[in-house]
Amino acid sequence: MSILEKFNKAIANCDANLANEIIHNDFKFILHSSGKTLGKKEVIEWLKTGDVKRSNVRILFENDKVGFEHSFVTFNDGNKEAVMNFLKFKDGKIIHQETGATKLPK
């Protein structure tokens, strides 16, 4: 199973243990829509809440250094976005993540 396949499984199942295995300790997640940067602990805590529900997840490209994917995301508050996700890998784990999101009608 690829890194992105594991990542997607962790999100779909709110699996903090799997997320902890595949996210590097030096991980940074840059959310361009809000200007926030999150670390590993914050992302795993968010993942556990089940706030992110993704559909039509498509891995567009992945190798041992980077991955790109697109999905539609619905949040618990009803907001919806089309999300382009860029990830960098180090030591077989996700070390960097950036998203570009387009808001969709509720």
Instruction: Please report, for the domain that includes residue 51, its CATH number.
Output: 3.10.450.50
Q: Map tokens 């570009």 to a residue.
A: 100
Q: Are 67 and 82 in contact (CB under 8 A)?
A: no
Q: Which residues contact 78 (CB under 8 A, 6 or more apart)?
A: 106
- Tell me the pTM: 0.92
- Give the residue among 5, 75, 68, 93 at the shortest CA–CA distance from 34: 75
Q: Map tokens 């190798």 to a residue.
A: 63
Domain of residue 89 covers 3-104
Domain count, the chain: 1
CA distance 40 to 57: 22
Q: For residue 78, how many other CB atoms are within 10 A of its CB? A: 7
pLDDT tens digits, the chain, 106 residues: what are they? 999 999 999 999 999 999 999 999 999 999 887 888 999 999 999 999 999 999 999 999 999 999 999 999 999 999 999 999 999 999 999 999 999 999 999 8
